Structure 1
Amino acid sequence: MTGWRHDHLGTQIDRSKPVSFTFDGRALRGLEGDTLASALTAAGVRILGRSFKYHRPRGLWGLGADEPNALFDIKHNGKHMPNQRATTTLLQDGMVLSSVNAKPNAARDRFGLMDKLHRFLPAGFYYKTFMAFGWMRYEPMIRKMAGLGAIDKTYAPPADVVSKNLACDVLIVGAGPAGLAAARAATQAGRCVWLLDEGPALGGSLQRRGGQINDAPWQDFAAETHEAVLANGGKVFLNTTLWGVFDHGLYAAWLRGPDGKDEHLRIRAKDIVTATGAIERPLWFANNDLPGVMSVEAALALLTQYGVVAGRKIVLATANDASYGAAHTLAKAGADITILDQRTKAPQAGGIPQIKGAVLSAAKGTKTVTAAIVNGRQIACDTILCSGGYTPTVHLWCQSGGKLDWNAGLDALIPRSGTSAVKPAGAAAGQFGLQKALTSGHAVFANDPAPTTDAPEQTAQAPVRPDPNLPGRQWIDLQNDVTLKDVGLAAREGFTSVEHLKRYTTLGMANDQGRTSNFAGLAAMAAITGKSIPDTGTTTYRPPFEPVPLRVIAGRRRGALFNPLKRLPLEDFHCQNEARFREYGGWLRPSVYGSAPEIGTAQAEALIARTTAGVFDASPLGKLEVLGPAAAELLDFTGYMRMSTLKPGRARYGFMLQESGIIYDDGVVLRLAEDHFIVSASSSHVDGVRLRLEDARQDRIGHGRVVINDVTQGLVTLTVTGPRALDVLTHAGIECPTLPQMGVIDVTHQGQPLRIARVSFTGDRSFELSVPARHGAALANQLTQAVAAYEGQWIGLEAVMILRAEKGYILVGKDTDGNTMPHDLGWSGPMLKRQDEFLGKRALFSSEGQSDARRQFVGLQVPKGAPPLVVGSHLIPTTGERRSLGFVTSSHDSPTLGRPIALAMVERGHRLYGTHINAFNDGQVRPVTVAHACAFDPKGERLDG
């Protein structure tokens, strides 16, 4: 047994509360407050997982989010949590932990044989090996072996994570000494501070290294700062990771709440300080990946915070002064420790055995450390602690756009002043040591003397680099099995860019985001290519700073919230009038009115509208304002019909095409003035039409000449249709007797603006009345009284669908398919006459667009007495090979005509008028006759009443 629990140390644990758990089937015990890492180390468990490619045994290496090896699948209280990091996950009673990437478990992984084949599996081997015989031969096996962790397909995640949009004055990320000093200074300056830390308590590095601040224990300083922040209206967020910095000052944070009640915080702050500390680098020697090789900071945290001594016989290899304090703390706890300092001029060890000028060349052992090779001599040990220096944690700084400079004295890349609005402090700014951290944090908001400490600085560190001359494999990326030789191979094969190196070798792509590997890979590539580290560059830092569960960032977009229904301003009015609602094009709209069966009611409503008058709510129809001197130019380019020739006060029907020439939408365009148009898009395509107009504006027109404004939900549009439509308007006090078909006029009605457009979706005389939404209910009440005077009524969308089908009016997406072009509907004029360019024009004249076998829009008639056709029925020839000529798109029993009607897309349909074909559905074949799409009032006489 290597690790053990010290009797008196451990600030985070409660010794009176034991916790039971299992790991890979083995029953173990920990203490309340333990992380998974501390509990397993205290229990003497060394092998915690297996590496990704070679399945080599892996043990605990790092601190917090720096840990690349110890990932577990956890089941607890019916919850399944895959790939949880051992160093950041608190132990809970009854947890069942399983190692990942191992069969049957981490200690006895049958895939460990992969390591025997390492010579044949170097970096990039998959790009070469799997070219032979075709990728599909290898894919099933590779997919089975790929990935970390396991998904329980039967497990449903907890309830939606609460997402909050927040704003604050000062946001400080990191509650270590620099963050606390910054919070204290900002609060004293009258600023409202939000202090955020990913740990469960304040203090950061102070929790493991301790120290006096202002001649008192650091805990007093932390408590006073905490109280001052809250007293000034601020907040303190613990167990919270700020995982991403985005444009326009948006900061995304993940708050890990109790029992999975997490929160996602989207924060905007006037000032932000990153006091995120530094990352301890590893050392590079043969077999430096063995369980028992650990960072100095991780071992120190295990001891001081959890009372766990990482090993009994320890060698501590370092090249910096900061490791000496940790060595003394471990020695006092009872560990047998020897310091190996690579420097020949090193500080005195104060009674601890020490070797200066030490070259640690290899670790010995199979599944755990048994010895270290130092200066060619073997030293027995069970643990090797390593410290190759410190790298400022600059992820958030770089995500905000900040640049880096190389500081040779610190042997690190540090933030370049003035390149970001974010303010780094402490070790994140290259200010190592307790006093420098306090001074750096304090100086962000104050000029007076900073808090003081008598702790020794211990900031001297010598550069340490991987040595390619050492025998054996030196591991750079522990999780992804990238070695120093892999970096050399990448350089020989031309992948010398750090971005290419990363992708070719997978270096830095583990779940620790390259914290333990990026510097080594960068330094190695610089040495191989003969460049400096600044010239070699760094990879791009992108969110997330730390892996975030998908359920956190997914928010609440699922179920009804994934695509929420849009609701009419007059929904309450329709409810009062006994409307029954259905979803149409993303809107909740009345289908019919009353409690009678829907089909019969829809037919009755349609017949009333044809006989007298009907009123329906057309508010979802798009109302996109296009304004500016280039408005006509934009609409000419994006539309199939030219709109620049349209006169003010008139409307025109048109199509919008995709670049492929396929119809995307149809609708009416109103021209109110020379530079003012309204595009009335289909209700389900409003957003898409707006985006297409905006794309064309940006690409073709530019800024300042066109503005697009969606006012759809700001207006209520009510349509009055039928032979008595004009009488209904007159009865309601709305006068427009001279308005021609496709005319538009703005008037005032009862002191309020009213737009009248004489356009029809039913084939009868119709008037679209649009008013500001706040006046919609008043207009609806007036029309209710007026239409009742002529024995008309409100009609639902089902009746409207019958009326438009009788006239052969299409619904894009229902009566068209993904291949329909305008000439398939009989609209070939613009294609043949327009000389200017418009979106989709070239595709119309392609071989596919001019094919003789295109499906065309027609009507269908069934024999007298036959029932309506089934929508979706295939249309097939009456003789010869049975094949699909097309399909039925709409079908209704017309109450006006007293017979069924249908619309269809049929191959060469316009040549088949009057001919017979068959409709096939569910094994039944029925004869039909191809007819013109318009079955009612083909001459359009009823449009003028």
Structure 2
Amino acid sequence: MTGCRVEQGGLIDRTRALSFSFDGMTYQGFEGDTIASALLAAGVRIFGRSFKYHRPRGLWGAWFDDPNAIVDIRLGGIDYPNCQAATTRLTEGMQVRAVNAWPNACRDVNGVLDLAHRFLPAGFYYKMFMWPDWHLFEPTIRKMAGLGTLSLDVQDGFQSAILHDHCDTLVIGGGVAGLTAARAAAEAGRSVLLVDDHPAPGGALYCNQHGNDSQLWVKAQIAAIRTAGGRILCNTTAVGVYDHQFVSVATDRGMGHAPIVRKLRPARIILATGAIDRPVTFANNDRPGVMSLGAATEFLGRYGVLAGQEIVVLSNRPETYTAIEDLRAAGAAVTRFDPTSAANAIGGRVVKAVKLDGRTYACDTILTSAGLTPLIHLWRHAGGKLEWDNGRQTFVPAEGPDWMRVVGAANGTFSQEAAMTEARHAALDQPAPTRGVYHLPPSLADPTASGRQWIDLQHDVTLKDVALAHRENMVSVEHLKRYTTLGMAGDQGKTSNISGLSAMAHLKGETIPETGTTTFRPPFVPIPLEAYRGARRDRQMAPLKRLTLEPEHRALDAALGEYGGWLRPAWYGGDGERAAVERECRMAREAAAIMDASALGAIEVIGPDARTFVNFIYYNTMSNLKSGRIRYGFMLAESGLVFDDGVLACIDDNRFVISCSSSHADAVMAHLEHWRQDRFDPMRVHIHDTTQNWSTVTIAGPKAKAIVAGLGVLDSLDDFPHMSLRLCTFEGAPARVARVSFTGDTSFEVSVQNISASALWNKAIAIGAPLGAGPVGVEALTVLRAEKGYVLVGKDTDGETMPHDLGFAAPRLRKTAAFVGDRSLHSDTANRADRKSLVGLTVGPLEDPLPIGAHVVETSGSDGGIKSIGYITSSYHSPTLGQPVALALVCGGAEAMGQRVDIWHMGQTRFAAIASPCAFDPEGARIDA
């Protein structure tokens, strides 16, 4: 046996045994174990297979620094892919399987790939499979790529959460430095949050055997922090630092528990993330049984697990002797040597011995350390710089943001007393003490040494791969990273960075600082995608908006559907969609349509600069809009493209109401807020989304005036021209009436507060019924607006449409005041003669409607090929006209009225004629009828 459980010690509960399986075999561990510690205690050495060559892989680290032990887990009927065995807490009944191995980690049939390693160096797939055709190899390569198995079953009951938290001082890391800093800050009256990724704080204290002294000290610090009002979150990892001091921390990022992501913007961050062992590079240093010195002492101190019985230590750290004493006290035979690249691990699938200076030493475990590497990933996320410390043989923090302080081993301060002093200074905003002297003999990677020396264990990157990248002129460390996959995925340079950089520096004849470092990016450790999503899924991601009048629509047998994020009536009655739409269209043209328009955006702009603001926001001139008047207009993006359309109503000089598309209301609100903060004084312009405060009933048609007159909202309709607004009351409650039309007929929009909506709707229906009017749904409305050539932004426009493409060219030429998108309207692209413009298309009255999406084509070239010059955006049968109507975007369409064009769809060709977009009442006589 190699690994074993010692009789006492550790933070595990030996009274609670847990049963689990690994690759089909049953094992036991204890409460407080990780999967890795339980398997190591049971003597398991091979935990998985490497990504490319499928070489056996054992444990290297004891926590997130381990790149090897990645497993798939099934627990409680839920599958969890790609879990780190070293950080995943053991749970009763776990079914664990190694990834990238079949049938199991010990006997992997794909292990034969290692025999062909000479033909599979770094970048081989960029070259080898290009000839004769990449697609011949692609299916097999893609099938072999990736780690872990993703279940296709829908998993219920695993709900993560995203919370917003706050603190004045965020301390990341619960070791000696972190606990000291958190206590000092809390006792100074600061609002403190300490996060630590282990189940219990203490950090590297548990890597050394000091009896109960360490645990007692940790408990005292925790008690003092909480007494002073500080908070402590365990099992919580800071995964990234982003712009504006935004920090993301994840609790329970392992499987078995729903992860919680907290978003914080603390005023100060104290980084006390510690340091990890740097590997020693030598031949076959990837064999299971080669482990970091720090991992062995952590397994012993936290879990009571001895990594091996016969141990060889290759380390140049001053702290090595303390670790050796602890290992010997636990019963291991330990021999120490200085680290050297001339070493060679002996053994087939696991370590059996090590060869040093021509002599062979039997062993079952090789513990290595070429020094400590500070964990400064979060410092780099925040924009902090690094400098090379020759004495420590590593990078340490240099210049950086003044709101983040790095203390303890993360700052290269490896002395416990010095780390505590440094932490207190940081907590109290005192100047940082000078970093102490520390001397470490160099033990850097030598790419000229013999044998296969591994620097990225997960991705099978060797020093020879680095040498190959250098020969192929990959002179940048970022090129090296991408060409060899060095430091990618979960490792993110934790174990491989210094070795890879030292090898590149050696080959280029430079120092490591001259070679530089790669970029560290969030997340610091892998976390489940579920944690990013949180509750934002299905209807929680985009909640379906509901109308106040929904019960009334259901009572009228409405077929409800989603339109622009709202549940709205599509049509009424049980006679089917086609019959209902035709009936409603005729009713709207012959009598009146009564429609629920509450979903249209209603955004109020208020303030002394409101008039200037809306004039800047709109393409059309709005500065001269008078009180009580309404004007149609476009909003543009900075690119000059149509962003939204709608009407603007002026209540008075300081108050306007923007009516926008129902599906765009949220985006328009964000658009307005963006420009308010960018260009205007926020104290002089205020924006309020009142869409869901009001309900609107639209009455449109030849008999609309009679119905509105019966509602009693206005004393008279005689002096109420089109595009006007009146403030009034309905049954004693506030109301607004707007004369605007989306159907081309006389139309009134009556808006009331939601409490009055039901009474307004029912009264309109009751008055309209004897006149032949009734409820009309969205589907009939789209036909009515297409007959008039009214556009729906996003349907009748595309990602290239500008307002002059829709026939609105005057503001581009005449408006002198600045507005959003103005410059873009005068670019070469905007002035091309072949731009797609909005047109109508006509076909014979007995023909079927043209297919939406069908292409308008012309013959191209001598071979008779066809070329698309546009496409159909809207197309319906018009019951009013007795024939199909269609809208299309066609290149040069505005200058081609009356011309016949070919329509191509799904291999079939039809013919149509280009016409004006307005097919019904082109004179507009019915609007004021």
Counterpart-to-counterpart distance in 2, 1:192 and 1:914: 74
**What does residue 251 of structure 1 align with?**
247
**What does residue 371 of structure 2 align with?**
389
Q: Which moved more, 1:551-560 or 1:796-805?
A: 796-805
**What does residue 401 of structure 2 align with?**
419
SS in 2 for 1:168: coil
**What does residue 818 of structure 2 align with?**
none
Matches within 5 A, 1:276-425: 276-341=273-338, 361-416=343-398, 419-425=401-407
**What does residue 763 of structure 1 align with?**
744
Counterpart-to-counterpart distance in 2, 1:242 and 1:417: 21
SS in 2 for 1:557: coil
Counterpart-to-counterpart distance in 1, 2:87 and 2:146: 21
Conserved 8 A contact 1:805-1:903: yes
Conserved 8 A contact 2:635-2:643: yes
Aligned CA distance change for structure 1 residues 288 and 708 (closer, same or farther; 3 Å): farther
Which of residues 207, 211, 218 is equivalent to 2:214? 218
Counterpart-to-counterpart distance in 2, 1:198 and 1:265: 14
**What does residue 146 of structure 2 align with?**
147
String of CA shifts for 1:662-711, please: whole Å, max 9, x gaps.
9775544567899998664332234556777899999xx96779989574
Aligned CA distance change for structure 1 residues 491 and 736 (closer, same or farther; 3 Å): farther
| 1:243 CA drift (Å) | 0.9
| 1:244 CA drift (Å) | 1.3
SS in 2 for 1:205: helix
Conserved 8 A contact 2:10-2:302: yes
Conserved 8 A contact 1:174-1:197: yes
Conserved 8 A contact 2:175-2:203: yes
Which of residues 858, 863, 883 is equivalent to 2:841? 858
Conserved 8 A contact 1:624-1:708: no
Aligned CA distance change for structure 1 residues 928 and 298 (closer, same or farther; 3 Å): closer
Aligned CA distance change for structure 1 residues 577 and 710 (closer, same or farther; 3 Å): farther
Q: Does 1:442 align with 2:429?
A: no
Which of residues 260, 269, 273 is equivalent to 1:272? 269
Corresponding letter in the other structure for 1:303: L
Counterpart-to-counterpart distance in 2, 1:917 and 1:183: 75
**What does residue 353 of structure 1 align with?**
none
**What does residue 536 of structure 1 align with?**
515
| 1:905 CA drift (Å) | 5.0
**What does residue 941 of structure 1 align with?**
925
String of CA shifts for 1:76-102, please: whole Å, max 9, x gaps.
332212211111112233333222222
Counterpart-to-counterpart distance in 1, 2:85 and 2:60: 11
**What does residue 187 of structure 1 align with?**
186
String of CA shifts for 1:48-70, please: whole Å, max 9, x gaps.
22222222222111120000111
SS in 2 for 1:179: helix
Counterpart-to-counterpart distance in 2, 1:910 and 1:489: 62
| 1:286 CA drift (Å) | 1.5
Counterpart-to-counterpart distance in 1, 2:643 and 2:401: 45
**What does residue 474 of structure 1 align with?**
453
Aligned CA distance change for structure 1 residues 800 and 325 (closer, same or farther; 3 Å): same
Q: Does 1:681 align with 2:671?
A: no
Counterpart-to-counterpart distance in 2, 1:161 and 1:391: 33
| 1:870 CA drift (Å) | 9.4
Corresponding letter in the other structure for 2:80: M
Conserved 8 A contact 1:476-1:483: yes
String of CA shifts for 1:588-633, please: whole Å, max 9, x gaps.
2344678997777766666665556554333333456785658646
**What does residue 203 of structure 1 align with?**
202
SS in 2 for 1:122: coil
Corresponding letter in the other structure for 2:357: N
Which of residues 258, 263, 267 is equivalent to 2:260? 263
String of CA shifts for 1:219-238, please: whole Å, max 9, x gaps.
22322333344445543322
CA RMSD of aligned residues (A): 4.6
Aligned CA distance change for structure 1 residues 404 and 423 (closer, same or farther; 3 Å): same
Corresponding letter in the other structure for 1:292: G
Q: Does 1:849 align with 2:835?
A: yes
Counterpart-to-counterpart distance in 2, 1:308 and 1:678: 70
Conserved 8 A contact 1:192-1:232: no
SS in 2 for 1:300: helix
Counterpart-to-counterpart distance in 2, 1:190 and 1:689: 44
String of CA shifts for 1:843-882, please: whole Å, max 9, x gaps.
57657537xxx9942356645xx9x8697598999xxx99
SS in 2 for 1:167: coil
String of CA shifts for 1:389-435, please: whole Å, max 9, x gaps.
11111111221222223333333322236624123222112221322
String of CA shifts for 1:497-537, please: whole Å, max 9, x gaps.
22222112211114222211101122232333343333332
Corresponding letter in the other structure for 1:209: N
Conserved 8 A contact 2:341-2:446: no
Aligned CA distance change for structure 1 residues 735 and 80 (closer, same or farther; 3 Å): same
Which of residues 490, 498, 511 is equivalent to 1:519? 498
Corresponding letter in the other structure for 1:471: S
**What does residue 743 of structure 1 align with?**
723
Corresponding letter in the other structure for 2:406: P
SS in 1 for 2:501: helix
Percent identity, aligned pairs only, is 43
String of CA shifts for 1:307-344, please: whole Å, max 9, x gaps.
222122111111111111110111112211111135xx
Aligned CA distance change for structure 1 residues 789 and 314 (closer, same or farther; 3 Å): closer
Q: Which moved more, 1:378-387 or 1:224-233?
A: 224-233
SS in 2 for 1:19: strand
Q: For structure 2, which runs of at least 5 residues remain unmatched after alignment?
A: 816-821, 858-864
Corresponding letter in the other structure for 2:600: L
Conserved 8 A contact 2:559-2:571: yes
Corresponding letter in the other structure for 2:245: G
String of CA shifts for 1:236-256, please: whole Å, max 9, x gaps.
322222211122232212211
| 1:938 CA drift (Å) | 4.5
Counterpart-to-counterpart distance in 2, 1:707 and 1:492: 62
Q: Does 1:554 align with 2:538?
A: no
Aligned CA distance change for structure 1 residues 808 and 392 (closer, same or farther; 3 Å): closer
Conserved 8 A contact 1:246-1:400: yes
Conserved 8 A contact 1:487-1:525: yes
Counterpart-to-counterpart distance in 2, 1:221 and 1:71: 34
**What does residue 639 of structure 1 align with?**
none
**What does residue 10 of structure 1 align with?**
10
**What does residue 116 of structure 2 align with?**
117
Conserved 8 A contact 2:101-2:108: yes
Matches within 5 A, 1:85-124: 85-124=84-123
Counterpart-to-counterpart distance in 1, 2:89 and 2:450: 40
Counterpart-to-counterpart distance in 2, 1:697 and 1:848: 35
Could you tell me the TM-score, scaled by structure 1's length? 0.82
String of CA shifts for 1:782-835, please: whole Å, max 9, x gaps.
67647755656665435534543554544455567889898997x487699889
Counterpart-to-counterpart distance in 2, 1:674 and 1:125: 70
String of CA shifts for 1:244-288, please: whole Å, max 9, x gaps.
112223221221188433222223333332221111111111211
